[in-house]
């Protein structure tokens, strides 16, 4: 878009305010998209997936379709599977360092497994503030790649989002 100099002169039909409004609209037009901000593009909008194997049960694939930041409750993010209602939570613990919890969002106390870095052959993560704050919640770029086992459970997979809030 090119501003015409005659629009900036006082007394013109649009005036300086009109030119300023046109410039503001041109610069912020992309902020008013009707599509939600998504993370990594994947098959069917997936952010990634994790394979959960629990002793005595069939392996379960958790396909992360949404990412939610911990906000005021914890430093980290949840990768959520809407179909299975399971979550893979990355938590930055101030004492133990990064921890992952896999849990059923309907029964968080009953079906829950915690994996520390020492339980993993692969544990790569990044949790970087994007500089955005949306509805009072900080937005993060999150990456998580795991291959972890505890006595009765194993989780392996990866997920990521450039805008998790």
Whether this prediction's pTM lies above 0.75 is answered by no
Residue 77 has pLDDT above 70, yes or no: yes
pLDDT of residue 1: 47
56 or 23, which is more confident: 56
pLDDT of residue 44: 54
pLDDT of residue 135: 83
pLDDT tier at 86, thresholds 50, 70, 90: very high
pLDDT of residue 6: 52
Torsion of CA 18, 21, 27, 31, to 10 degrees: -150
Residue among 65, 68, 119 at smallest CA distance from 91: 68
Q: Do 42 and 66 meet the contact criterion of CB atoms below 8 Å apart? A: no
66 or 21, which is more confident: 66
């Amino acid at each position: 878009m090119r501003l015409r100099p005659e629009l900036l002169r006082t007394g013109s039909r649009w005036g300086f305010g009109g030119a300023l409004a046109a410039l503001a609209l041109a610069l912020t037009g992309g902020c008013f998209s009707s599509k939600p901000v998504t993370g990594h593009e994947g098959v069917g909008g997936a952010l990634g997936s994790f394979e959960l194997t629990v002793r005595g049960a069939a392996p379960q694939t958790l396909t992360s379709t949404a990412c939610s930041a911990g906000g005021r409750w914890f430093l980290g993010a949840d990768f959520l599977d809407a179909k299975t209602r399971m979550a893979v939570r990355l938590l930055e613990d101030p004492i133990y360092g990064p921890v992952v919890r896999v849990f059923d969002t309907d029964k968080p106390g009953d079906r829950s497994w915690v994996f520390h870095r020492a339980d993993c052959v692969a544990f790569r993560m990044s949790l970087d503030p994007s500089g955005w704050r949306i509805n009072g919640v900080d937005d993060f770029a999150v990456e998580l790649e795991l291959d972890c086992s505890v006595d009765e459970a194993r989780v392996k997979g990866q997920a990521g989002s450039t805008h998790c809030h």
